[in-house]
């Protein structure tokens, strides 16, 4: 099928892009096009105006300033994956990106496009939540900042309001070690179950932890009780058993032909164990 007809504009500033988005009720930004172009072709999206963000230089780039890493929303996934500063500052993001699509999709797909699209099985939303990222949003009233955990609302639903643009993601330096694991039908496919694990251990104590499941519900699920156990009991083998017993298996609602809800529930504990153990194994011991 061919897309329904649409107008096309390619502004060079965020201010102009916002004006254009405000001029049509159903205008839509386009970034890497890796999700939106197929949606247009299948007529799942029928915007009357496409606002191309690719010619806005201020939306791309990676910058570390005052301990905060700012990644422009239009930065290509491949660029983030290859970035040494991202590897040092937020290794979990790189670990997640290794599972996102394939080299050709990562060469065009953007970091902001994946977050704005908010596919329930996408890897980046879980990584952003586990890293406590801040999403920077521009609208006609100026800029606002939203915590990743509040940004991702449901399947293909975020805190972005019509006419707004996600301009950047901001990350504090990652606390602790991490791992991102998933089960998917083939390498590069969306995850059936994904796990983002981050554990910060100091003087034998677990001072911070994040465990986030993806692919199992309308949005990524933070395992609050499991995180609490890790922080209280430390990342010991006994505590990990308690963590696995406290996983929110009743949060699994995704039930599809590729994997039933029961299958996803069976996968979660072992994947979580492996992710926590892989994170801890990556710790450099003096
Ligand atoms: C073969 C294939 C395999 C893939 N596998 C995976 C996978 O395993 N995991 C995964 O997570 N993804 C996967 N993807 C999707 C890919 O990661 C896309 O890059 C991503 O979903 C969308 O990013 P994009 O830059 O292409 O955005 P686009 O497709 O251009 O836009 C997607 C949506 O976000 C909106 N949008 C984009 N940028 C902004 C912005 N800055 N502000 C506000 N709204 C915005 C658009 O209006 C649109 O609604 C795959 C894609 C393909 C084609």
DSSP 129-157: HHTT-EEEEEETTEEEEEEHHHHEEETTE
Rounded to 5 degrees, what are φ and ψ at 213? -100, 140
Q: In this predicted model, what pLDDT tens digit does every residue of 105-123 receive, in sequence order?
A: 999 999 999 999 999 999 9
Pocket probe for ligand 1: among 17, 26, 78, 113, the residue whose CB has the most ligand atoms within 8 Å is 113
Average pLDDT over residues 231-252: 93
Average pLDDT over residues 239-257: 95
Is pLDDT at 98 greater than 70 in this prediction? yes
Ligand 1 interacting residues, C-beta cut-off 6 A: 28-36, 53, 73, 100-101, 105, 109-110, 112-114, 116-117, 119, 122-124, 160, 165-166, 188-190
**What gap in Å lies between CA 187 and CA 100, rounded to an integer?**
9
Average pLDDT over residues 39-56: 96
Look at residue 95 in the predicted model and tell me its pLDDT.
98
Average pLDDT over residues 167-187: 96
Query: Would you place residue 272 in the very low, low, confident or very high pLDDT band (cuts 50, 70, 90)?
Result: very high
How large is the C-alpha radius of gyration of the chain?
Answer: 19
Look at residue 132 in the predicted model and tell me its pLDDT.
98
Question: Domains along the chain?
Answer: 7-52 (3.30.43.10), 57-172 (3.30.465.10), 177-281 (3.30.390.50)
Look at residue 43 in the predicted model and tell me its pLDDT.
94
Average pLDDT over residues 67-86: 98
**What gap in Å lies between CA 228 and CA 216, rounded to an integer?**
21
Is pLDDT at 1 greater than 80 in this prediction? no
Query: Would you place residue 226 in the very low, low, confident or very high pLDDT band (cuts 50, 70, 90)?
Result: very high
Look at residue 204 in the predicted model and tell me its pLDDT.
82
Which residues does 232 contact at the CB level (< 8 Å), separation at least 6?
Answer: none
Look at residue 114 in the predicted model and tell me its pLDDT.
98
The rounded mean pLDDT for the chain is: 96
Pocket probe for ligand 1: among 9, 38, 116, the residue whose CB has the most ligand atoms within 8 Å is 116
The answer to whether the CB of 53 falls within 8 A of the CB of 59 is yes
């Amino acid at each position: 099928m061919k897309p329904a007809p649409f107008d096309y504009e390619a502004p060079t500033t965020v201010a102009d892009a916002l004006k254009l988005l405000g001029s049509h009720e159903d205008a839509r930004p386009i970034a890497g096009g890796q999700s939106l172009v197929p949606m247009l072709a299948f007529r799942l999206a029928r915007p009357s105006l496409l606002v191309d963000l690719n010619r806005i230089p201020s939306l791309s780039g990676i910058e570390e300033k005052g301990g905060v890493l700012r990644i422009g929303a239009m930065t290509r996934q491949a660029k983030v994956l290859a970035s040494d500063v991202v590897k040092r500052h937020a290794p979990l993001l790189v670990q997640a990106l290794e599972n996102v699509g394939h080299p050709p999709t990562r060469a065009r797909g953007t970091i902001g496009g994946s977050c704005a699209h908010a596919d329930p099985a996408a890897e980046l939303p879980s990584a952003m939540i586990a890293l406590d990222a801040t999403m920077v949003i521009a609208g006609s009233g100026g800029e606002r900042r939203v915590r990743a955990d509040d940004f991702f609302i449901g399947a293909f639903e975020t805190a972005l309001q019509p006419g707004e643009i996600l301009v950047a993601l901001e990350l504090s330096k990652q606390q602790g070690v991490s791992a991102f694991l998933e089960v998917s039908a083939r390498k590069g496919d969306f995850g059936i179950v994904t796990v983002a694990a981050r554990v910060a251990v100091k003087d034998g104590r677990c001072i911070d932890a994040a465990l986030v499941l993806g692919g199992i519900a309308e949005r990524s699920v933070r395992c609050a009780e499991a995180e609490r156990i890790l922080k209280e009991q430390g990342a010991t083998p006994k505590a990990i058993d308690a963590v696995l017993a406290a996983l929110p298996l009743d949060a699994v609602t995704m039930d599809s032909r590729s994997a039933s809800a029961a299958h996803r529930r069976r996968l979660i504990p072992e994947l979580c164990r492996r992710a926590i153990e892989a994170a801890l194994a990556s710790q450099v011991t003096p």
